[in-house]
Structure 1
């Protein structure tokens, strides 16, 4: 297998924001301090909240009180078995083979490994640890094992990080990837470069929404005679609706983002972790559970306009990696986590030709049934007149698909 050390990497940020629509205020998500400098970030659209901002100081007490009163019961994962298969990766970067497809492998939660026909290898939101928490003896524990370890990845040229939450950014995983693939370049939102440099990682580029960078790999050795002499890619940092933070007092000090990667005639849109439209508490007819927040009375709720803008300026995409889990209770999490129905709307607006589901099947983060997201995804596709299989799919952890 080709080692990433056979290539040197250069990254050039493009001047301005070439992907930004003309009518967009490209710094509306910046919160300015007294000196005029950006001190933190915010979601700029009404779609992000139905009331008070949701954060750790709100979520944790709300969940604890809900559990104490029995109004917020988390499902059992004892008998849940998310399919896990041993992944296989391409043995070479060769562009002379007949297979010119994009190949993508789900490694659990939001982590995907993408093999572009150009030879580029990209890793999205790698977290291989047992727990997504500051400490490995407390916090959400995996109920489906990781498909592999960083040691099993044949090459990593670029690592794309959506935001700083522990289920998307792991210090241990990042350090192991940097050790095994020292030429790998990390792409992060504004404010996160400092964290990476403190970890001893210098190959990092931080970007704001609507910014773009060109990544060029140049072969430095003859290690892989069939590998291309050079590989080029365009990396786009794009808006989404979420939050950030790794400690109680650093909430929203670094930027969250979705991303697009284009190389060799193929493109991927990575939704990362995002909400779409915040909804109020909606009861079902019996008043015992959550009702349909897409009913007629909720049609007028604000939707995030940036996904349609992304589709218009950067789409269409060959593949979307879109979140479908961690969405209940909806009144608490809808502003920052997409439901399956939200994900289908994002799929349509970003103009993805195909999509694979992420952000489910790994850790118990919220209180929907663990196996509910795929079922609701099929229902949402049917409601939108889209085939239930073959367009926006789920797969086993470790499974690869071609596009």
Structure 2
């Protein structure tokens, strides 16, 4: 975003779990590795502490390369995990709390989501989960994190009203079946399109699909369902897309 560089929930490991050889294995390798990242990386935004979003080996390697040149943002209650793992430059935020990153004149806000948190058997929902709004004088970006759709009171309309319209959003579209189990924590492609509409996003990219075997849907199904949902809502096909691994999308 202009000269501000950031990552969201970076996971470079082949598997995620309590050990490198335990847990789901990636369908595809990452599009790049830590050594491919630019030297002037500014911040990393962590949506919640689930292991497929907060990956200890990746955090360790990033911290080794950047140290305190890198600022980490997370939800309330997550900072202590970083401190315990020798990551010092960490800012934790509550829902709707904002931070002005004066180094690059960028604002970062932690936004509510409908999900949960857990890293061990003893810390369920002891830390906050959510998404992020990031904006400067010319651009606005929204990262939804993991979330279900809040049907009764749309927090996403509130986010759109408070921080939108967004030039670009990253919205999850996968890990949604079976619905009776996943509905409260992961949106379907149809609900992802509704979030796109609610937050007033000019362009969105579908994320959180095709990486790990975490649900019952075929891992290549979400983009097809997304395309149909975009059509059903009479939106332009280019308004909500998916990208290939390593693909670069330039915004006009």
1:157 to 39, 42, 52: 42
Counterpart in 2 of 1:166? 51
Counterpart mapping for 1:262-301 below 5 A: 262-277=135-150
Counterpart in 2 of 1:237? 110
Counterpart in 1 of 2:19? 135
- Cα pair 2:72 2:91 within 8 Å, conserved: yes
Larger Rg: 1
In the TM superposition, what is the alpha-carbon distance from 1:265 to its structure 2 partner? Answer: 1.1
User: How many angstroms apart in 2 are the aligned matches of 1:193 and 1:169?
Assistant: 12
Higher relative contact order (CA 8 A, sep 6+): 1
Q: Which deviates more, 233-242 or 135-144?
A: 135-144
- Cα pair 1:276 1:304 within 8 Å, conserved: no
Q: Is the partner of 2:106 in helix, strand or coil?
A: strand
Counterpart in 2 of 1:338? 187
1:391 to 220, 239, 246: 239
Runs of 4+ in 1 over 6 A off after TM superposition: none
Q: Is the partner of 1:140 in helix, strand or coil?
A: coil
The normalised TM-score by structure 1 is 0.61
User: How many angstroms apart in 1 are the aligned matches of 2:153 and 2:118?
Assistant: 22
More helix as a share of residues: 2
Counterpart in 2 of 1:258? 131
In the TM superposition, what is the alpha-carbon distance from 1:312 to its structure 2 partner? Answer: 0.5
User: How many angstroms apart in 2 are the aligned matches of 1:124 and 1:269?
Assistant: 11
In the TM superposition, what is the alpha-carbon distance from 1:304 to its structure 2 partner? Answer: 4.4
Counterpart in 1 of 2:84? 198
In structure 2, stretches of 5+ residues that fail to align are none
In the TM superposition, what is the alpha-carbon distance from 1:400 to its structure 2 partner? Answer: 1.2
- Cα pair 2:16 2:22 within 8 Å, conserved: no
Q: Is the partner of 1:379 in helix, strand or coil?
A: helix
Counterpart in 1 of 2:65? 180
Superposed CA deviations along residues 255-289 of structure 1, whole A, max 9, x for unmatched, are 00110111351111000111105xxxxxxxxxxxx
User: How many angstroms apart in 1 are the aligned matches of 2:134 and 2:10?
Assistant: 16
In structure 1, stretches of 5+ residues that fail to align are 1-115, 218-230, 278-301
Q: Is the partner of 2:105 in helix, strand or coil?
A: strand
CA RMSD of aligned residues (A): 1.0
In the TM superposition, what is the alpha-carbon distance from 1:167 to its structure 2 partner? Answer: 0.5
Q: Is the partner of 2:91 in helix, strand or coil?
A: strand
Q: Is the partner of 2:102 in helix, strand or coil?
A: strand
Flag the 1:130–1:303 CA change in 2: closer, same or farther, 3 A.
farther
Q: Which deviates more, 248-257 or 320-329?
A: 248-257
Superposed CA deviations along residues 188-215 of structure 1, whole A, max 9, x for unmatched, are 0000010011111110010000000000
- Cα pair 1:120 1:263 within 8 Å, conserved: no
1:381 partnered with 2:227: no
Q: Is the partner of 2:61 in helix, strand or coil?
A: helix
User: How many angstroms apart in 1 are the aligned matches of 2:137 and 2:37?
Assistant: 21
